[in-house]
Amino acid sequence: MIERVFSPPVAEALDCIFYHMREGRGQEGFQLLEREAAAGDADAKCLLARCLNGPSYVWAEHHFPEDEARATELMRQAAQEGSALAVLLCLRSGELTPSVKKNMPFESLRAAFDRVVEMAGSGDAFCQYTVGNVYFWWDFPKIDGKRPGDFPNHEAYRDYLRENASKAEDWFWKALRGGVFFAAYNLRKLYEEGDEDLIPPRPEKVAEVWKAGAEAGLPPCQEVYGQRLLEGGGTAGLKWLEQAAEGGEAYSWYLLGRAYEFSKGVEHDQARAVAYYERGVARGSVSCMVMLAQDLYLGAGVERDYGRAYQLFAQAYQSPAGVGNWVLEYLGHCFFGGLGTQQNYDLARQFLERVEKPQTQTYYELGCIYGQGLGVEADIPRAVALLQKAGDYQPAREELLHYKKTLFGKWVRRN
């Protein structure tokens, strides 16, 4: 905890939210920021605004509320009330309006920047990350008040850009080792893509980034590093995925479950996969909900349970994370067959018709719905076309026996 930079409560909040995130004290940190912001602490307002901006700015597993309008207002207030950090974040996010700039208690952007550099130099990782972003996103010309025309020639301007842009790397490394996992994502981008034509890419450095973040105990980095190792073969990645999962990365439970369900680097163990999915569901992982629901529906590694399978599919469908074909198809199957829920052909049709890449069972069920007029007006030609798309699916072949062509080539249902 860095107490030389922020007030003790704000420093503790940073510790909860960023530096020791795996301890699960995010909500405690959030409440500290709420309290200190209400008391008038400008830095607390700045950091609280960051938390309210959503998972692009703070760890998603903290499950903080999102409120963009309040975040904007807090950030502007913080800049005008003396938070140098807020001044730089307003500059980066486009919130440094003329009014905010006029009312901030700094004689210039450079004065605010120098203050944050001083804070970063004292060891605060979030400030180090912020300084790195100034160089990474090229905010430094605005801070320096420099324009291309201020240089004797284009090459001199490029030298200025290159010299400053190159400083981002060192600041990001300091921030990463200090506990700000977002620094890893900017380092990855820097190493994979370089910085325009000023700094060349170095993709061989990317693995070093994730390894360092994993060893620093940062769950998001442990997840990425573990996944990369697992994809490379062998079981080394499992250790890191387990640490990520235990540290709060719910998606890691899904990755572990898939590893055992589909024999990725380990022997198939369906029961173990189900156990991992269960733990992910307890943490709110939508991916784990879908996988566990499918296994419960099929009775794979667990006793078949249509009721719970339907509940999990429905929960996943209602999630803001969105769903794919699997959830739509299985919900359609559940409503068509009355599996785990009341039979409802209209809902079955609505879900099944939204599937982008239908499987044979989906074609069969839609064929039955249109052929037998289940909750919809019968459409025999459409039904036959759907049933034929089901190919060799035995129930579809049997259903097709109920239809014949007349002498005029029209499909009708047999009496």
- Neighbouring CB atoms inside 10 A of 155's CB total 9
- Asked if 331 and 323 count as a contact pair (C-beta separation under 8 A), the reply is no
pLDDT in tens, 92-119: 999 999 999 999 999 999 999 999 999 9
Residue 195 CA to residue 188 CA, distance in Å, equals 12
Taking the C-alpha atoms of residue 343 and residue 376, their distance in angstroms, rounded to an integer, is 14
Residue 210 is assigned to a structural domain of this protein: no
Bridge partners of residue 195, in order along the sequence: 199
Q: How far apart are CA 45 and CA 89, in angstroms?
A: 12
Domain that holds residue 69: 1-106
Cβ-contact 105, 86 below 8 angstroms: no
Q: What would the DSSP string read from start to end of 270-317? A: HHHHHHHHHHHHHTT-HHHHHHHHHHHHHTSSS---HHHHHHHHHHHH
- Confidence at residue 4, expressed as pLDDT on a 0 to 100 scale: 62
Is 149 inside a domain boundary?
A: no
What confidence score (pLDDT) does residue 3 get?
40
Question: What's the rounded Cα separation, in Å, for the pair 161 and 303?
Answer: 62
**pLDDT for 232:** 86
The token pair that represents 82 in the structure block = 């003396």
Based on C-alpha coordinates, what's the Rg of the chain?
Answer: 28
**Is 332 within the bounds of a domain?**
no
- Judged by DSSP in three states, 80 sits in helix
Each residue's pLDDT expressed in tens, for the chain with a length of 415 residues: 444 689 999 999 999 999 999 999 999 999 999 999 999 999 999 999 999 999 999 999 999 999 999 999 999 999 999 999 999 999 999 999 999 999 999 999 999 999 999 999 999 999 999 999 999 999 999 999 999 999 999 999 999 999 999 999 999 999 999 999 999 999 999 999 999 999 999 999 999 999 999 999 999 999 999 999 998 887 899 999 999 999 999 999 999 999 999 988 889 999 999 999 999 999 999 999 999 999 999 999 999 999 999 999 999 999 876 667 789 999 999 999 999 999 999 999 999 999 999 999 999 999 999 999 999 999 999 999 999 999 999 999 999 999 999 888 889 998 7
For the chain, what is the domain count?
1
Note whether 336 and 346 are within 8 A (CB): no
Torsion of CA 199, 205, 207, 211, to 10 degrees: -110
In a domain, 95, yes or no: yes
> What is the pLDDT of the chain when averaged over all its residues?
95
* Nearest Cα to Cα of residue 239 among 251, 254, 227: 227
Query: What is the C-alpha to C-alpha distance for residues 354 and 328, in angstroms, rounded to an integer?
Result: 7
Span 264-293, pLDDT tens digits:
888 999 999 999 999 999 999 999 999 999
pLDDT digits (tens, 9 = 90+) for 283-340: 999 999 999 999 999 999 999 999 999 999 999 999 876 667 789 999 999 999 999 9
- Residue 175, C-beta contacts closer than 8 angstroms, at least 6 positions apart: 125, 126, 128, 129, 132, 183
Residue 20 lies in a domain: yes
- Do 312 and 293 touch, CB atoms closer than 8 A? yes
CA distances from 172 to 110, 126, 136, 219 (A): 20, 10, 9, 18
